[in-house]
Structure 1
Amino acid sequence: MNRNTLLLLALTAMAGQASASSPDAWKAFDKTLVDRCVAASSLKNARPAGTDAAFDDSVGFNALLIKGQYKQAFMKNKAGTELCLYDRKNKKALITEWDNVTSLPKK
């Protein structure tokens, strides 16, 4: 093999390794996702309810359900659920109430 071919192979191998995320990087991302979603939540004792759903890079969001209790006195610590959409590009957590999404409408 000539020198240029070896150089091309070496650069290709390094580029493939550089684009892969390490387990530590994924762990740090997961922590950031949970921390930002919990901080954005309006619930007290907010915590993740399971694992996140990661959309592909064309969408750029992860979704995570958050459970906790409503803070307002009139809600009397009623359990609540929120959906957090985490924007990976802008590193922002967006929250919406998610309590009645899975219940069937009343007839």
Structure 2
Amino acid sequence: METNKFTLRTENREGQTILFLGGEFDLEVATQVRAAMEPLIELTDRRLTLNLRDLKYIDSTGIGILISIVKARHTRNASFDVEHVPVHIRKLFDMTGISPFLAQAGSY
């Protein structure tokens, strides 16, 4: 899935699904991200990992979606990781208070 400023790519590995998010994760692409995430949240036998290496920007809508993923996976006792968080995004996560929840999720 791709728009002019956002990319989402899924890669399946043995026992793991990795979502690579790139560009700007904002209100404009929220519906697309939710649609891509819905079936993956239910796959409790697979580790779900978000790779944010190429993420340039995230707004409050994107942060809300991340929180909902953390909650949904936790409720299902399913593994969830966030990896390769860029420094500027990590600072935003720290300022908004989401960092502890992502750290609990896995390899944050």
**Range class of TM-score, shorter chain:** under 0.3
Structure of higher RCO (CA pairs closer than 8 Å, 6+ residues apart): 2
Of Structure 1 and Structure 2, the greater helix share is in 2
Normalised by the length of structure 2, the TM-score is: 0.26
